[in-house]
Amino acid sequence: MHQFTIEPMFGSDAWAIGGYNIAFTNSALWMAISVIVLWAFVAGGMKRQLVPGRWQMMVESFTGFIDDMLEANIGTAGRKYVPYIFSLFMFILFANILGLLPLGVIGLHPFTFTSHFTVTGVLAIISFAIVLIVGFAKHGLHFFSLFVPHGTPVPMIPVIFVVELISFMVRPFSLGLRLFVAMMAGHVLLEVLSSFVIGSGNYSAGIFALAGIPSFILMVGICALEILVAGIQAYVFALLTSVYLNDAENLH
């Protein structure tokens, strides 16, 4: 579990604003690294050539991917959310992938800040807040009709309203917890398997052959799976945010 431990860095333990500690931690460092790598990635695709190079093509395919997703989920009104959804998707994607890098080999400790629900929770709350703001700004109190699906029999309306309201209010939690749990589970699984490899190796050659080697082979497969999960969870987060935004933009 050491990989999830937050440690203040550069002697910033005592930094505080208004009594709240804002130490620059390893978590903050990896957020900074994610932003820098993401900036470098997008900046490399800003040559604005008419005939794009490979890098520009790669960046444009990411923006095009987000644009298409919003267009498919929300329609043309969805284009104005491209900056937000792109930032969200790429920030989570880069955080997930950078956190998977095998930097332990050279003595560094990668930190996956998306495996902390304080982080995923804040991102989920931002998305949820945008949904609420857009919904109420666009539809006013009519936004509450979201909780009464079409064709609901009149006597059922109070019950359905409560059920729909609860499912709506659960969204930020499911959004934040899904990412946190997926990232954390993958890292814990890799850690457990690697402890099998090392522990069995220390115990005896026979046990190593019996448990260590299969665990290692399994780890290789799970590493590949984790790279997939890193992409899928970023996609799911962005997709669900755009689906929720569609509710706010178009109601039902």
Partner 1 sequence: MPQISQLAATYASQVFWLLIFFGLTYFVIGRGMVPKVMDTVAMRDKQIADDLSAAEAARKAADEQEEAWRVRENENRAKAQELIAEAKAKAAAETEAKLATAQKGFDAKLETAEARIAEAREKAAAEIETIAAEATQSIVARVAGLTVDDTAARTAVRKELA
> Does 167 participate in binding partner 1 (rule CB under 8 A)?
no
Judged by DSSP in three states, 184 sits in: helix
DSSP state of 17: E
Contact positions with partner 1 (CB under 8 A) in 85-104: 86-87, 90-91
- The answer to whether 122 contacts partner 1 (rule: CB under 8 A) is yes
- Distance of alpha carbon 99 from alpha carbon 231, whole angstroms: 12
Q: Which residues contact 63 (CB under 8 A, 6 or more apart)?
A: 82, 86
For 75-123, the DSSP string reads -GGGGGGHHHHHHHHHHHHHHHHHHHS-GGGGT-----GGG-HHHHHHH
Stretch that binds partner 1, among 115-123, 161-169, 196-204, 222-230 (CB under 8 A): 115-123
Q: Are 168 and 144 in contact (CB under 8 A)?
A: no
Query: Is the CB of 15 or the CB of 203 nearer to partner 1?
Result: 15
**Residue window 9-28: x/- pattern of binding to partner 1, with contact defined by CB under 8 A:** ------x-x--xxxxxx-xx
**Closer to partner 1 at the Cβ: 68 or 204?**
68
What does 189-216 look like in DSSP terms, one character per residue?
HHHHHHHHHHHHHHH-HHHIIIIIHHHH
Residue 235 binds partner 1, judged by CB under 8 A: no
- Please select the residue that binds partner 1; options are 55, 63, 138, 232, rule is CB under 8 A: 63
Contacts with partner 1 by CB under 8 A lie at: 1, 4-6, 8, 15, 17, 20-25, 27-28, 31-32, 34-35, 38-39, 42-43, 45-46, 48-50, 52, 56, 59-60, 63-64, 67, 82-84, 86-87, 90-91, 113, 115-119, 122-123, 126, 180, 184
